[in-house]
Amino acid sequence: MVTVLQERAEQRVLDHDLARKIRVAGRTLTVTPVFDTYWRFAAARQKVYEARLAGRAGPFTDDPILQRHRFTNCFRAADRVSQDLIGGVIYQGEQAWEEIFFRTLLFKIFNKTSTWLLLNGALGEVRWDAYDYRVFDRVLSQAFTAGQRLYSAAYIVPPPQLGQERKHQNHLRLLEMMMTADAPQRVLTAPTLQSAYQVLLGFPAIGPFLAYQFVIDLNYAAELPFSEMDFVVPGPGARDGIRKCFGPAADGIEADVIRYMADTQDEHFARLGLSFTGLRGRPLQLIDCQNLFCEVDKYARVAHPDIAGISGRSRIKQTYRQQADAMPAWFPPKWQLNGPPGR
């Protein structure tokens, strides 16, 4: 007599065999167990997000790794800092494109909501047409001297060498340079997301990863028409996650791998019997699949410690702490995900 547990074990073997090899960009890639973990992690993490959004009491998952460690949401736009950017920066204040561009990059250079609130509190309103380097520097320097942390640790924004002593001063000069070099208009008139990315990539200290992150942020605005399925740039964390899923055979085709994940997501969620309805029906986009590889890289350090990535990191640094304040969930109106007021 075949037991339910035996049936499930046999199905897991079948699942693994079905997914054991995939074809991407003309290469045959052999998947590791982390490949299926990618999909299971996405489904479980999205359920945590939906439970928190519904106001349910924790714990929101029975996954011990998710209970203990902090991971970003499956959808980049749903993360708290992105929510602060979308609702509190891009769609607040003067809606002239030049002002939106300035506010967005100023916010993202620091990537820390408290720094944005500091500037707004001191200046009344952050505007390019009223910008004064000395005033902005004075506010930030006073906070820095008082021990306030100005930058997020989420990712490093290297300072350009533009003649100033402090990091934030050089970043202010960089933003000035972008504004006076007509970067807002050049991004606005770019024919593709990739060409808009190339505009940002041409400025000092903005490498491929940052240029891509910044152009995705700017694309939340109503003025830019690009799809998040147009173009992707794998970051270092994503490359680590891809290595853990596919081994070194995927080296050099990481962007193609990310597109494969986005294109076949329904197939793999169904194959594994996972419920995943997306973000109010919106499927994972390239940027989301890229970010999920970063998170799965971290998750696999505990779940699959025997499978190596590129960096060699073995610990997850950030610990999960439940937050009591309500979660915002308001997205670019052009996505048509926002329900009636109050929903």
What is the predicted pLDDT for the residue at 55?
85
What is the predicted pLDDT for the residue at 7?
41
Average pLDDT over residues 74-100: 96
pTM of full prediction above 0.95: no
> What torsion, rounded to 10 degrees, do the Cα atoms 222, 232, 317, 107 define?
-30
pLDDT, the chain, mean: 90
Average pLDDT over residues 182-202: 98
Task: Give dist(CA 133, CA 136) in Å, integer.
Answer: 5
Burial of residue 113 (number of CB atoms within 10 Å: 0-12, 13-18, 19+): middle
Whether the predicted pLDDT of 4 surpasses 70: no
What is the predicted pLDDT for the residue at 9?
38
Whether the predicted pLDDT of 72 surpasses 50: yes
What is the predicted pLDDT for the residue at 323?
66
SS3 content of the chain, % helix, strand, coil (to 5): 55, 5, 40
* Ramachandran quadrant class, 168 (left: phi over 0; alpha: psi -120 to 50; beta: rest): alpha
Whether the predicted pLDDT of 249 surpasses 70: yes
Dump the DSSP string for 88-139.
Answer: IIITSS---HHHHHHHHHHHHHHT-HHHHHHHHHHHSS--STT--HHHHHHH
User: Residues 77, 306: contact at Cβ < 8 Å?
Assistant: no
Whether the predicted pLDDT of 18 surpasses 90: no
What phi and psi, each to the nearest 5 degrees, are found at residue 69?
-115, 155
